[in-house]
Structures are given as structure tokens and as C-alpha cells.
């Protein structure tokens, strides 16, 4: 099993003048540290208007910066909000491919569509159509990255003429695909589409085993890839803090986790929010006090001593998970404590998993190989792309037809341009 880190850019109030500057610089330092320590992935989500809970509204910028400070860690852009109201599909293809180029082929591409009214209403996305929009867009984005030229699309939720979308990614035909999963049906959808499942439900090991088995069974029977490759992986995310003293780890994790849990439920379950004014930290502390000192958190976590985490995460590995993503930066955990937690985990927990990972992955890949081949055989093969010629010149095209109507210095330029245009037209004929 591999390990990733999740950079939601959480920033509890109050905010000083340099709070966001410090947050992002510390996060970049953490990615650089994680790369040196041997973590496999750094994930960053696209989320908008979710004050305090997540300031990660432009993860492609953060990940591009991280790519220049790291060498081997894979960069997970997950999720990209795919309904065209958030992002035009061609822009998604361009950004993902560019990130893959500048990182020398280290991108993981995950999609989602959000469940929060803050985001959906903020961009005018119809909640009832968000998944349908996402899947239409994803299917076309993979075509844009894989085909040269992209032949165009006339669809339900967006249309686009034929164009050659550049640059192309380093990972051909496109980077590995993932989808955010908050329930069993989305996990099965991921399997049917041949893409990785990013499960955010904080389930325990027994639930993880059931999810993995359900994913693989569905993949074997029903997969018709939405892209041009498959990525049959299952990952989960858990709150994380590691300390030599388990009681200290739990004390820190409980306070930070209470804020995280309250913020999630504020934006997803019951919150009334006044933009720019609502103070989630104060509200979470008041609720925590009223509930007896903690806000109950459903699901599993990775908070404790190295020995405890090894035991807990080994159960995840035995359940068949391919990756555990550690939510390491949440609440008001100070930077020094976050850094020390990562270093301790890398020194005392990570090596025990890294030693067996290559063998485990090779075995799983071999077991899935015939089903991968069958899935790819079920996908309809795209024909070679073609595109009709289109006028490429700008709106300010000079009047080449009547050069004599202009002053001599303009006329000479227009005559020269007309000769070039005539030569170009002969090449087209």
C-alpha cells in the first residue's frame, strides 16, 4: 500500500495579513519534505468559497509550484470540478497536460462535481445534472488529450468545434484517472468506467475490504473505460497525526479533528453562511464545548503512535486498499508539529509498507491483467481524428484587398502581406 498527503489548505480564523501566504509556503515546504521522505503522492482538491475549510481554489497553480521543488512524488489534481460551469473542458485538458509536462509526467487526474450549495450556486451549476455534466466532460477531455486533432463534440451540456488541443501530456494517452466517491454507488461507477476510486468516507478496515471487493467485482464484469487506459485502484482518506506519545497525538488530533468535522458538516449538512463574516473556528469551539469537549467524528483515523498507526494501516493494506491518503494539515495544527509528525511516520511506519509495495502491486496487476484487457476490448475504438480548415486569423485582420487606398508605408506592408497570403492559399489547395 502507498501513502499520499492531502493539501486542502485549511485555514481557521482569525486570519492575519500573511495567513494565506504562510499557509501556501508551508504547504510547499511540506510537499518538498514529503518527496524527500518517500511519500508517494501529494493531492490537492479544487474547492471554491469554502472559507476556513479549504482555500484550495487553484490547485493547478499550487501543484505546478510543487512540481519544481520535487523529483518523484506524484501530483494528484483531485478533484477537478468537471461541470462546464466550473471549467471549460478544453481548459481542463490544457491545464492537466501542462502540469504533466512541467512535472515530467507525474500527474494523477481526479474528477468530481461538488455537493455544496456554496460552490454549485456560486457557479450556476444545476445540482441535478452535475454528475451527468462531469462524465460528459471527462469523456471529451480524455479525447482532447489523446487525439490529434480532437474532432469536436456536439453534446448535451457543452459543444466544441474540431481543434488540436495542446500541449499533449507526457503520460500518453493521458494521466491516470480517478473520481471522488462518497458512497458505494460512486465506487461501482468508478469501476464501470475503469478509473480509480478516491473514497472519502473514512471507513474502517472491514468496510474497506467490502468496498475493494465490490470495486473489483464490478470492474471485472462491467468495465467499459471512459478513457483510453484504465486505473483499477482504490484509495481512502483519513485524518492523520503521528507522535511518539499516543495520548499527545490523540489530544492534538481531537482538537483539530473537531474543527474539521464541524466545517465539513457546516458546508455539507446544516450550515447557514454569511460570506466574509461567519467564523467557523468560533462556532466549532462553542459546539465542542456544548457537546462535552469533542465533536464526534464518524469513521476511521490514523492518529496515534507509530506502533498504533502501523497496526491500523496494516489492516487497510490487508483489506486490499492501494493507497491511504493522510489528511495531515487540518484545524490549527502548527507547522512544526505537522512536520515532526510526517518525519516520525516516514522514519518508523513508512519503511514497513514500502518494502512490500512493489511485490504487492505487481501481483495485483497480474491478477487484473486479463480483466484490463477485456475492458479495453469493450471500448469502442476511436477513428483517426480529422479537422476541416477554419479561418485562423484575428478580428483585426488588415484590409488586404485594397492596398492602394492607404498611405505608402501602409500600402507596402499590405502588398507584402497579400503576397504571403496568396502563397499560403496555394499550399492549402
pLDDT digits (tens, 9 = 90+) for 92-129: 999 999 999 999 999 999 999 999 999 999 999 999 99
Longest dimension (CA), the chain: 87
pLDDT (mean) for 299-326: 95
Residue with the larger pLDDT of the pair 287 and 406? 287
Q: Is the pLDDT of residue 345 over 70?
A: yes
- Among 71, 12, 81, 83, smallest CA distance to 42 is for 71
| Secondary structure tally for the chain: helices H, strands E | 13, 11
Establish how many alpha carbons lie within 13 A of residue 273's alpha carbon, considering only the half-sphere containing its beta carbon.
21
Separation of CA 342 from chain center: 22
Question: CA-to-CA distance for 374 and 248, rounded, in angstroms?
Answer: 50
Tens of pLDDT, residue by residue over 262-272, are 999 999 999 99
Tens of pLDDT, residue by residue over 217-240, are 999 999 999 999 999 999 999 999
Q: Report the pLDDT value the prediction gives residue 407, as an integer from 0 to 100.
A: 85
Domain 2-378, CATH among 3.20.20.30, 3.30.70.1890, 3.30.420.480, 3.40.50.2300: 3.20.20.30
Q: From start to end of 182-335, where are the E strands?
A: 196-199, 234-242, 302-304, 323-327
Question: CA-to-CA distance for 322 and 3, rounded, in angstroms?
Answer: 9
Question: CA-to-CA distance for 201 and 10, rounded, in angstroms?
Answer: 19
- Among 56, 143, 48, 73, smallest CA distance to 342 is for 73
DSSP letters, 82-110, are -STTT--HHHHHHHHHHHHHHTTS-EEEE
DSSP letters, 331-392, are TT--HHHHHHHHHHHHHHTHHHHHHHHHHHHHHHHHHHHHHHHHHHHHSPPPPPP-------
3-state SS class at 403: helix
| Confidence grade of residue 384 (pLDDT, cut at 50, 70, 90) | low
What does the DSSP 8-state code read for residue 163? B
Q: Is the pLDDT of residue 429 over 80?
A: no
Q: Is the pLDDT of residue 297 over 70?
A: yes
pLDDT (mean) for 144-149: 97
Residue 410 neighbours by CB distance under 10 Å: 13
Q: Report the pLDDT value the prediction gives residue 298, as an integer from 0 to 100.
A: 72
In the chain, pLDDT over 90 holds for what percent of residues?
Answer: 84
Q: Report the pLDDT value the prediction gives residue 396, as an integer from 0 to 100.
A: 73
Question: CA-to-CA distance for 256 and 261, rounded, in angstroms?
Answer: 9
Domain spans, the chain: 2-378, 391-429
Separation of CA 201 from chain center: 16
Residue 66 neighbours by CB distance under 10 Å: 25
Q: Is the pLDDT of residue 36 over 90?
A: yes
**Average per-residue pLDDT for the chain:** 95
Tens of pLDDT, residue by residue over 320-331, are 999 999 999 999
Amino acid at each position: 500500500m502507498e501513502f499520499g498527503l492531502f493539501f486542502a489548505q485549511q485555514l481557521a480564523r482569525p486570519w492575519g495579513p500573511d495567513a494565506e501566504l504562510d499557509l501556501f509556503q508551508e504547504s510547499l515546504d511540506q510537499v518538498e519534505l514529503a518527496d524527500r521522505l518517500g511519500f508517494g503522492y501529494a493531492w490537492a482538491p479544487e474547492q471554491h468559497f469554502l472559507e476556513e475549510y479549504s482555500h484550495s481554489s487553484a490547485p493547478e497553480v499550487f501543484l505546478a509550484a510543487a512540481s519544481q521543488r520535487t523529483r518523484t512524488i506524484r501530483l494528484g489534481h483531485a478533484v477537478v470540478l468537471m461541470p462546464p460551469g466550473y471549467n471549460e473542458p478544453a481548459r481542463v485538458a490544457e491545464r492537466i497536460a501542462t502540469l504533466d509536462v512541467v512535472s515530467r509526467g507525474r500527474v494523477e487526474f481526479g474528477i468530481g462535481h461538488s455537493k455544496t450549495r456554496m460552490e454549485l450556486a456560486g457557479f450556476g451549476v444545476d445540482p441535478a445534472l452535475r454528475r451527468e455534466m462531469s462524465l460528459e466532460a471527462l469523456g471529451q477531455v480524455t479525447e482532447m488529450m489523446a487525439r490529434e486533432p480532437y474532432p469536436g463534440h456536439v453534446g448535451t451540456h457543452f459543444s466544441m468545434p474540431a481543434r488540436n488541443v495542446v500541449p499533449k501530456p507526457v503520460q500518453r494517452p493521458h494521466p491516470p484517472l480517478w473520481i471522488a466517491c462518497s458512497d458505494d454507488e460512486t465506487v461501482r461507477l468508478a469501476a464501470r468506467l475503469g478509473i480509480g476510486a478516491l473514497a472519502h468516507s473514512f471507513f474502517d478496515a472491514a468496510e474497506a475490504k467490502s468496498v475493494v471487493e465490490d470495486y473489483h467485482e464490478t470492474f471485472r464484469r462491467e468495465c467499459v473505460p471512459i478513457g483510453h487506459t484504465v486505473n483499477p485502484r482504490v484509495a481512502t482518506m483519513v485524518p492523520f497525526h503521528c507522535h511518539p506519545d499516543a495520548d499527545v497525538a490523540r489530544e492534538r488530533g481531537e482538537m483539530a479533528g473537531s474543527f474539521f468535522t464541524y466545517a465539513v458538516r457546516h458546508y455539507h449538512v446544516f450550515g447557514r453562511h454569511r460570506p466574509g463574516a461567519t467564523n467557523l473556528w468560533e462556532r466549532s469551539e462553542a459546539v465542542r464545548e456544548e457537546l462535552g469537549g469533542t465533536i464526534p467524528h464518524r469513521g476511521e483515523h490514523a492518529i496515534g503512535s507509530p506502533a498504533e498507526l502501523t497496526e491500523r494501516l496494516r489492516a487497510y493494506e490487508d483489506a486490499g486498499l492501494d493507497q491511504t491518503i493522510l489528511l495531515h494539515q487540518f484545524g490549527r495544527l502548527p507547522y512544526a508539529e505537522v512536520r515532526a509528525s510526517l518525519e516520525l511516520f516516514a522514519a518508523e511506519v513508512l519503511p514497513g509498507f514500502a518494502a512490500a509495495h512493489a511485490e504487492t502491486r505487481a501481483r495485483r496487476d497480474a491478477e487484473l491483467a486479463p480483466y484490463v484487457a477485456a475492458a479495453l476490448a469493450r471500448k469502442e475504438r476511436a477513428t483517426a481524428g480529422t479537422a476541416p480548415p477554419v479561418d485562423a486569423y484575428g478580428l483585426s485582420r488588415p484590409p488586404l484587398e485594397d492596398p492602394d487606398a492607404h498611405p505608402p508605408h501602409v500600402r507596402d506592408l499590405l502588398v507584402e502581406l497579400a503576397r504571403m497570403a496568396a502563397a499560403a492559399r496555394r499550399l492549402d489547395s
